[in-house]
Amino acid sequence: MIVVTGAAGFIGSCLVKRLNRDNFNNIIAVDKFGDAAKMNNLASAKIKEYVDREEFMPWLDKNNELVDFIFHIGAKTDTSEFDTVLLNKMNTQYTKDIWKRCIQYQIPLVYASSAATYGLGEVGYDDDESKISSLKPLNPYGQSKQDFDLWALQQKEKPFFWAGLKFFNVYGPNEYHKGRMASVIWHAFNQIGKTDKMKLFRSHNPRFKDGEQMRDFVYVKDVVEVCVFLMHHRRNSGIYNLGSGKARTFLDLTKATFQAMGKTEDIAFIDTPVDIRDKYQYFTEANMTKLQTIGYSRPFHSLEEGVADYVKNYLMPGSASY
């Protein structure tokens, strides 16, 4: 059996469907299952058992001999959440509890870290573990992920295989329930669909022109392929970046969305809200060398390829679900 936490969420549900495609159907889906919108993400998935996240630790203690692998994708992912007690409980401590059981029961583990740990990128975006202690996250969410990464690296006892994945700006099917925290592509599609226009944040950094703020946008289909690779690989434990490896501008993203929708570009700029202006990331780009050196060679979707697939095959009316 394969456990996927956060199974009803964005990345988790896409991972479940990807595992199903390889006939891994004995999936233990762990999440808080009260959200009907999120449950739509698993409507066609093959699931052996649904386990509430609050009941997962007792469940694992009882059923550990049947578990072959754990993907711990679930987390409190709201970057505007400032309740540090809640974030420590749901992100840092919960992951520690899983980690300890993976050691005790000899279960390999892949868990979700975040590129939010890099902050403004003062020391770059390199997943060299010797540099992780110098990172400065910009918000409590990023700090909760950083706290666990540091804790994991300091442990003398570790699962026989483990990997922490620093997800960059992931976009793709099954994110509709995330609302404000959904990707810019999702928001662009909806805004363009309603108004035939798109508003982007103006740059308040003299080194970047309006719309030329750059992020590493990575398609969720690429993310889950890396997860499946690591499940089979089970060597070279450590913390890995997971982005496309190529920073692109918000203008690139918006133009690709207009093109995929078959609409004429109409882009305007608005001021970045004052409350996030000082903590706004103007550039992120994953150094993907480390993952490549352990044998991952599958090409990533370009931004244009990913946006076209997402818009035409999942967002347009009448499109299929993932």
The answer to whether position 252 is within a domain reads no
Residue numbers of the domain that contains 95: 2-172+218-244+285-301
DSSP state of 308: H
* Distance in angstroms (rounded) separating the CA atoms of residues 207 and 122: 15
Q: Which of 111, 118, 125, 141 is catalytic?
A: 141
Catalytic residue among 178, 199, 246, 263: 178
Residue 155 domain-assigned?
Answer: yes
- Region 180-201: mean pLDDT is 94
* Secondary structure letter of residue 7 according to DSSP: T
Q: Is 276 within the bounds of a domain?
A: no
Nearest C-alpha neighbor of 105 from the set 74, 130, 70: 70
Give all strands (DSSP E) within 53-107, no chain letters. 69-72
Average pLDDT, the chain: 95
pTM for the whole thing?
0.95
Q: Which amino acid is at 8?
A: A
194 is catalytic: no
The DSSP 8-state label assigned to residue 253 in this structure reads H
Q: Taking residues 256-273, report their average pLDDT.
A: 96
The residue written with tokens 């289909």 in the block is: 221
CATH code for the domain in which residue 71 is found: 3.40.50.720
Assigned domain for 290 exists? yes
Task: Examine residue 264 and state whether it is found in any structural domain, yes or no.
Answer: no
118 has catalytic annotation: no
Q: pLDDT category, 315, cuts 50, 70, 90?
A: very high
Instruction: Write the CB contacts of 116 (distance below 8 Å, at least 6 apart in sequence).
Output: 79, 137, 138, 139, 141, 142, 145
Tell me the DSSP string of 289-320.
HHHHHTT--PPPPPHHHHHHHHIIIIISTTPP
Task: Report which secondary-structure segment, H or E, holds 275.
Answer: helix 274-277
Question: Is residue 320 predicted with pLDDT exceeding 70?
Answer: no
Please say if the pLDDT value at position 257 is more than 70. Answer: yes
- Can you tell me the mean pLDDT for 69-94? 90
Cα separations (Å) of 15 from 21, 42, 147?
10, 11, 25
pLDDT of residue 78: 81
pLDDT at 37: 78
Q: How far apart, in whole angstroms, are the C-alpha atoms of residue 204 and residue 195?
A: 25
Determine, yes or no, domain membership for 271.
no
Weakest-pLDDT range from 82-86, 206-210, 247-251: 82-86
Q: Please state the domain count of the chain.
A: 1
Of the candidates 221, 316, 275, the one whose C-alpha atom is nearest the C-alpha of residue 10 is 221
308 — pLDDT class (breaks 50, 70, 90): very high
pLDDT digits (tens, 9 = 90+) for 148-158: 999 999 999 99
79 Cβ neighbours under 8 A, 6+ residues apart: 116, 139, 141, 142, 181
Residue 129 forms part of a structural domain: yes
Which pLDDT score is estimated for 29? 98
Pairing state of beta strands 162-167 and 238-242? Answer: parallel
Assess if residue 213 is contained within a domain: no
- Residue 222 to residue 290: CA distance in whole angstroms: 16
Residue-wise pLDDT for 90-114, tens only, equals: 899 999 999 999 999 999 999 999 9
Spatial distance between the Cα atoms of 75 and 248, rounded to a whole number of angstroms: 27
Of 29-38, 69-78, 108-117, 266-275, highest mean pLDDT: 108-117
The reported pLDDT for the residue numbered 158 is 98
Contact 103, 152 (CB under 8 A): no
Question: Mean pLDDT, to the nearest integer, of 205-229?
Answer: 97
